Structure 1
Amino acid sequence: MSTTAAARPIVVGFDGSDSADAAFAWAAHEAQRRGVPLHVLVARGMLYPVAAGYGLTTPWPEDFDSELVEQARERAAALGPDRAVVVESVAGTPAGFLVDASREAELVVVGRRRQSALGEAFSGSTSSQVAAHASCPVVVVDRAFDVPADGPIVVAVDGSSANDPAVGFAFERADALGVPVVAIHSWWVDVPQTFDAPWLSEERVAELEEHHRGRLDVALAGWCAKFSDVQVHPRLRRSLPVEAVLAEAEADKAQLIVVGSRGHGGFVGLLLGSVSQGLLHRERPCPLAVVHAVSGGTS
């Protein structure tokens, strides 16, 4: 595929960490596959005054910033002279500039340094903020995952119209790569063994399961028709969503998990039980793609 001047880039954040290296490698491979430019962003933190009358400075010393930029340029140069790569250093928060860059990007790729979910909510994890607020799909790469090239795309399906962009992203990518889609829909009702109320009888539980199976079938019907060459494996699990998605991704040796997002990040996302935020804070067998309700995404 040839690169054109109008092509929207793959944007990746780089801070010199191991997860940033993994994100860079994933983004570089993806940019090559799509034939689009790679834009590497090194953010130096917010400007702040050191003292009255002395102007503004940044949290990172200039020599440290230069070192990171040089590392990013070395990695870019190793990709070869025919690759379209831009390395940019900016003064500002990494999350803020990645979210800004997402408005003109095909995809944003970020690494993730592990800390507790609550800690990330209060300290402002870059990956969490970007995944919650970006204007395009975001792929979070925690480390250098060893995933099979023919592994399926696992997508969480909830049956809502807001979830359609995520399902579409999964089908488009699976079609481009020639791999299957595993579509997982989970449902949950806690029925104590000693509880005999009619509305939670075995028959009622069976009805609920059939209802959710119907929702999954309806949600997939249009995409199956549009991407008739994609092999689809619908999966229905009586489980909490995060647990269901992780179990399927592990069992099927997925190369990517795709989930939708309604834009609730940080502490709000935790309180609302956001599936995308929940998956961000868990150990995963592969990278995670977060696709917003307002973005359709591409393969």
Structure 2
Amino acid sequence: MDAQTTRPVVVGYDDSPEGEIALEWAVREAERLDRPLKVVVARGMLWSTAPGFGPAAPWPEDLDREVVVRAKQRVTELSTTVETVTESVVGTPAAVLVTAAEDAEMVVVGRHHHSLLGELVEGSTSAQVVAHARCPVVVVDRHAGASTRAPIVVAVDGSSPNDAALAFAFDRATQLEAPVVAVHAWTLDVPDTFDTAWLRPEHIAELEQHHRSVLDEAVAPWAAKFPDVELRTVLRRNLPVEAVLEQSEGARLIVVGSRGHGGFVGLLVGSVSQGLLHRDRPCPLAVIHAEHREA
């Protein structure tokens, strides 16, 4: 195998319910792709106990060993065929996973549910990994739609960077024989109650037709490249996050592109990937960075 075919599926594990769900999803994905699995347990940063004493581990080695053993046991219970490496690394979970993702096929992370204010103040591992990892990041906090016809929902904005998300969605749809639902949302810069005062109905219709063209032109090359993939396009006059969530009930996966805004910046500028990350979603979320191209 060459380097491309041996890139592992990386997953962060912390023995929490969210970590269990992420691990299960990662095992199934590694099995499906015939890729090795790398399970990473982050031990936190070393800290100094007192002057004259060396740094101390953030938690006892016995506890660390128990988590690693538990991870290995769970992988064995889930699959007997996946080649697996499990390691414990000193560092914050986000930093450890971003480093591990440098040569990965994808990185899978669970999401611990905090309030939006809590994530602003304390930070979120999943948000930080989404913002900084170079490979696709899949945030799994619940199981996907079980139906074989469960679609892959992809957000479309018509930009060149968004092509990476479309490539990922169509490639995965081919592998899974799943349909693709491509969603494009548009809004006016004025409240609905001011439409008639600010814009004529004909003008609004022209805007809608423009956005229909944006959606159709964005998906056309991928529909041509993957003719066997069933495609449904959805145009909504709504906020992008709301439009995507509206189409995602029963979906297998939500796919969205990212231009690299994360943390405070992403939250302040209204990044769709960050917006979806912090919402209650019906299925896992895959965030694909602009430089990644699957197909």
TM-score w.r.t. structure 2 length? 0.95
Matches of 1:59 and 1:262, distance apart in 2: 34
2:124 is equivalent to residue 125 of structure 1 = yes
**Secondary structure in structure 2 of the residue aligned to 1:243:** helix
Show structure 1 runs of 4+ deviating over 6 A.
none
Counterpart residue identity of residue 287, structure 2: V
Matches of 1:195 and 1:183, distance apart in 2: 27
Matches of 1:196 and 1:4, distance apart in 2: 61
Matches of 1:266 and 1:80, distance apart in 2: 35
2:283 is equivalent to residue 295 of structure 1 = no
Counterpart residue identity of residue 19, structure 2: A
Counterpart residue identity of residue 55, structure 1: G
Q: Report 1:87-236 matches (<5 A).
A: 87-189=86-188, 190-193=190-193, 196-197=196-197, 200-236=199-235
Query: Which sections of structure 2, spanning at least 5 residues, go unmatched?
Result: none
2:280 is equivalent to residue 280 of structure 1 = no
- Deviations along 1:155-178, one digit per CA (max 9) or x if unpaired, are 000000011100110000001111
- Picking from 268, 272, 276, the partner of 1:271 is 268
The 1:46–1:194 alpha-carbon spacing in structure 2 relative to 1, beyond 3 Å, is: closer
> How many pairs align?
293
> Structure 1 stretch 7-16 or stretch 183-192: which is displaced more?
183-192
Matches of 1:270 and 1:81, distance apart in 2: 41
- Picking from 254, 261, 264, the partner of 2:251 is 254
Matches of 1:80 and 1:112, distance apart in 2: 23
Counterpart residue identity of residue 50, structure 1: T
1:4–1:36: 8 Å Cα contact kept in structure 2? no
The 1:149–1:196 alpha-carbon spacing in structure 2 relative to 1, beyond 3 Å, is: closer
- Deviations along 1:119-172, one digit per CA (max 9) or x if unpaired, are 212212110000111110010001334532320100000000011100110000
1:19–1:144: 8 Å Cα contact kept in structure 2? no
Matches of 1:145 and 1:83, distance apart in 2: 21
Matches of 1:41 and 1:26, distance apart in 2: 15
1:122–1:267: 8 Å Cα contact kept in structure 2? no
Counterpart residue identity of residue 154, structure 2: V
The 1:79–1:191 alpha-carbon spacing in structure 2 relative to 1, beyond 3 Å, is: closer
Query: Which sections of structure 1, spanning at least 5 residues, go unmatched?
Result: none
Matches of 1:195 and 1:170, distance apart in 2: 35
Deviation at 1:249, TM superposition (A): 0.6
**Secondary structure in structure 2 of the residue aligned to 1:193:** helix
The 1:42–1:188 alpha-carbon spacing in structure 2 relative to 1, beyond 3 Å, is: same
Deviation at 1:191, TM superposition (A): 4.2
> Structure 1 stretch 67-76 or stretch 229-238: which is displaced more?
67-76
User: Could you tell me the percent identity over the aligned residues?
Assistant: 58
Deviation at 1:193, TM superposition (A): 3.3
Counterpart residue identity of residue 44, structure 1: R
**Secondary structure in structure 2 of the residue aligned to 1:78:** helix
The 1:297–1:93 alpha-carbon spacing in structure 2 relative to 1, beyond 3 Å, is: farther
Deviation at 1:180, TM superposition (A): 0.6
Counterpart residue identity of residue 41, structure 1: V
Where does residue 13 of structure 1 map in the other structure? 12
Where does residue 67 of structure 1 map in the other structure? 66
